[in-house]
Amino acid sequence: MPHFRRRYAFSKLEKKLKFARVVAVQGPRQCGKSFLTTHFLKATHPNLKLERFDLAETRTFASANPDLFLAERSQASPLVIDEAQKVPQIFDAIKVRVDEDPSPGRYVLLGSTEFSHQFRIQESLTGRLSRLRLYPMTVGECCELAHKTGDLHGILFSEPRVGLESVLQMLERGGMPGIFAVRSDEEREGLFEDWVSLTCNRDIHQIPRSRLDSDLAREILRLVATIENPIASDISKKVGSSVKVVEKHLAGLELLFVVQRLKPHISGTGKDRYYLCDSGIARFLGASKQRALETWILQELSAKRALLAAPSKRRFSYYRTTKGSTLSFVVDDDNQKICLALQALYKEKFDKRDLEIFKSFEKALARNNQLINQIYHPVLLLSSTSQRFHDNVQIIPWGALA
């Protein structure tokens, strides 16, 4: 069964429960948050208790009686609350309890949104809460590989751990636990449709005072998946709405972890680009194979960053020249002192023009003194199964990301 694949994030969740009073596990809908805690964590924490705030009766009682709700469940270790953002009052009540008893591992809060003021959550639990971002499954998790850190700057492997067929399947099916292993194309399409429909017709309307439009949100998601330059202004032209309205919808979709923002590198030009949270959803909405590839790579990179001891030390961006040529990803890592330039192409061979963007980026870095105390490592990701160097650029198969 697809749900029973072990998640790499589980070991980090267990570590957080040993020192943090409250742990937040957040990520897009149906990415496996509840299953991570109820199945895997239950085995090591038999006194775990799960409560769901998507159940109206539970939510209503907890909203009116947050202190009593927690007191009734004081023996739980930990108390796991799914969709915690739906009862903002619970955050204040938890603060009081963990201040009275600072024992670690008391609460796990699951959320398919950011815990922010936009959801009327006034208490941030600063100093009491440790966050864990959960993403759709990586290709390594889908293939049930043991978790390992890449031998090239902790990101890439010198030898791919999965074959081309596994990556191609990942691009089409994505990594949503309840969807990726469904063999019937028709059934899988129906599940993707349900996911998108629930996101646009229900989830966005749970953001207080947002007044987002369901049809516009869906069209924005389609355009994020399909247009050449997925920035707010280009999306605005396509939908016939103002940039301000489009940015408001994109911000709402970011709160739900449905889209991910990729900023332009400081040495280049351009505006913030947006990607969907899952390559399978992107393909369902019409993404080209090249865009699905980029979406999957960002998904893999983000999942790896979430497992780091200091995720904030690793930053992702893209590079764009003044003439519009684009380098897919730039990974700056302060801990490893690297600047990793990744160009991902949906093809098996390259020509010299594919390497020009690396020279442009290296010159831009030099002009801006960005190469001081950093290792510059250019990598071209292709579908080929062998790796080699050409003009100082390392050519690596897609599967090296597994």
CA distance 221 to 235: 10
Q: What are the structural domain ranges in the chain?
A: 2-133, 139-401
What's residue 122's pLDDT? 65
What's residue 3's pLDDT? 52
Residue 2 has pLDDT above 70, yes or no: no
Q: What percent of the chain has pLDDT over 70?
A: 98
What's residue 209's pLDDT? 85
Task: Determine the CATH number of domain 2-133.
Answer: 3.40.50.300
What's residue 359's pLDDT? 94
What's residue 123's pLDDT? 58
In 3-state terms, what secondary structure has residue 196? helix
Residue 302 has pLDDT above 50, yes or no: yes
Query: What's the rounded mean pLDDT across residues 47-76?
Result: 96
Residue 8 has pLDDT above 80, yes or no: yes
Note the pLDDT tens digit of each residue in 164-176.
999 999 999 999 9
Q: What is the mean pLDDT of the chain?
A: 93
Report whether 256 contacts 204 (CB < 8 A): yes
What's residue 1's pLDDT? 42
As to burial, measured by CB atoms within 10 angstroms (0-12 exposed, 13-18 middle, 19+ buried), residue 195 is buried
Note the pLDDT tens digit of each residue in 368-400.
777 777 889 999 999 987 778 898 999 999 999
Among the residues of 160-231, which ranges form H helices? 164-173, 185-201, 214-226
Cα 223-116-317 angle, rounded to 5 deg: 45
Residue 23 has pLDDT above 80, yes or no: yes
Residue 56 has pLDDT above 70, yes or no: yes
